[in-house]
Amino acid sequence: MLSELRGAHRQRQFLIAARRLLSERGEANSLGLARELIARLAGLEPASLENVFDRLARDFNPDPAAVLAAAQAYAEAPDAERLLALIRASEPPRQELFRRLNRAPGATGTLVRLRRALLSGLARHPEWRSVESDLLHLFSSWFNPGFLQMRQVDWNSPAQLLEQIIRHEAVHEIDGWDDLRRRLQPDRRLFAFFHPQLPEEPLIFVEVALLPEMPGAIAPLIDKKAETMPLDKYKVAVFYSISNCEPGLKGVSLGNFLIKRVAEHLQREIPKLRSFCTLSPIPGFAAWLAKGRLDDLPGLKKPQLERARAARELLERTCGGEWARLSQAEPLSQLDEEAQQALLRLAAVYLVAQSATPQGDPVARFHLDNGARLERLNPLGNRSAKGLKQSCGMMVNYLYDLGKIEGHHEAFTQGEIAYSRGVAALL
């Protein structure tokens, strides 16, 4: 009971100080208040934080009457002065509160963690969406890639940073220090984005393998006992893992800029690299396959749709209607050639027909929207438990043709998927 009273008191004190900060005109006093508020905010318990989110969502909104008056004035005479007045009236005061808080040392990290906590409770508290939207709006500016520093992480990087890489790897788990050491050898590279206010905290990182040719399986790339490839063998740069380190930055575009920045850097460093590609999972494929929704597939012609239905019927007979069998290594490896072709066809259908829709595979949407081309499907490219369960072991190569990235991106925004002749032949 005593702790609850203390929490409520801290919450009230925070909100009182927040009002003071918004009304403060002096720069020096404003900075002192911001420091005090950030310290209080960092010390709030989860229950008190929830109350703060409630108050931010309820009490720091624009004045409806002022917004209406400014909008009517602008509608009557849409000049620059009235537009600026409308913008000022419609901006939530909490945005200015967050800006002033961010003046304090260490505030950027605290505000990112604040949004992380807010996002974790958003499903239970949809009324917080306006607060979340304001933070996302500000972070999209504060974490603009133009402000970020790209750095290569190697074995000589600080131990604390290397520990964070191990902890945050989200695609292919790093099995201890020996595994990490192999991933940082000369034929493996790791690049991360850092913010000037968070210099020792990677925001996002990408792992790259330098190889003689486009790979079809992940195991050789992450084999910690694999021999190091000599420099004269480097022909292809393969982005095989990208991991976000900070949940509080969800929705802020970082990965697409990092991949392009790394590709440009590697092209300058190793001019003989002839192509840049990924080796990616299809995390939504197995679930889509089990649901079997082939009635509404945009962009497919009637013959393609008929072939897709026939492929699904064949696979259903092969697995006896137990789709989970296609997420197990042994049944997959025992598929005959016709069934293997059916599985490849359905994967191609899923990626081509669904990726431009909100229901599309998230990894496919990321790379295709980033300007890549769907290049090749690789059966049993990932035999890990996760790869089998989510993707039926399938992996994809997306090709980054640096001269065509913008055109492919523009086409994707219009619902068109860039894919190779090999993928087209599967449809």
Three-state secondary structure along 270-332? CCCCCEEEECEECCCHHHHHHHCCCCCCCCCCHHHHHHHHHHHHHHHHHCCCCHHHHHCHHHH
* CATH code matching the domain that covers 146-278, chosen among 3.40.630.180, 1.10.760.10, 3.40.50.1580, 1.10.1060.10: 3.40.630.180
Structural domain boundaries in the chain: 2-142, 146-278, 285-426
The residue type of 1 is: M
CB 195 within 8 A of CB 147: yes
Q: Given this model, what pLDDT does residue 80 score? A: 95
232-to-181, 186, 270 alpha-carbon distances in Å: 21, 12, 10
Domains 146-278 and 285-426 share a fold: yes
**Cα 366 from Cα 192, distance rounded (Å):** 18
Q: Given this model, what pLDDT does residue 384 score? A: 93
Q: Give the helix, strand, coil percentages of the chain, each rounded to 5.
A: 55, 10, 30
State CA 223 to chain mean position distance. 25
Q: Given this model, what pLDDT does residue 26 score? A: 56
Q: Given this model, what pLDDT does residue 9 score? A: 60
CB 151 within 8 A of CB 191: yes
Q: Which segments of the chain have a pLDDT < 50?
A: 1-5, 7
Q: Given this model, what pLDDT does residue 1 score? A: 44
CB 217 within 8 A of CB 333: no
Residue appearing with tokens 């009230």: 12
Q: Given this model, what pLDDT does residue 28 score? A: 59
Q: Given this model, what pLDDT does residue 8 score? A: 59
The residue type of 334 is: Q
Active site residues: 280, 367
Q: The whole model's pTM is what?
A: 0.89
What CATH topology corresponds to 2-142? Butyryl-CoA Dehydrogenase, subunit A; domain 3 (1.20.140)
What CATH topology corresponds to 285-426? Aminopeptidase (3.40.630)
Q: Given this model, what pLDDT does residue 19 score? A: 86
For 66-101, the three-class secondary structure string (H helix, E strand, C coil) is HHHHHHHHHHHCCCHHHHHHHHHHHCCHHHHHHHHH
Q: Given this model, what pLDDT does residue 5 score? A: 45
DSSP lists the bridge partners of residue 207 as 190, 241
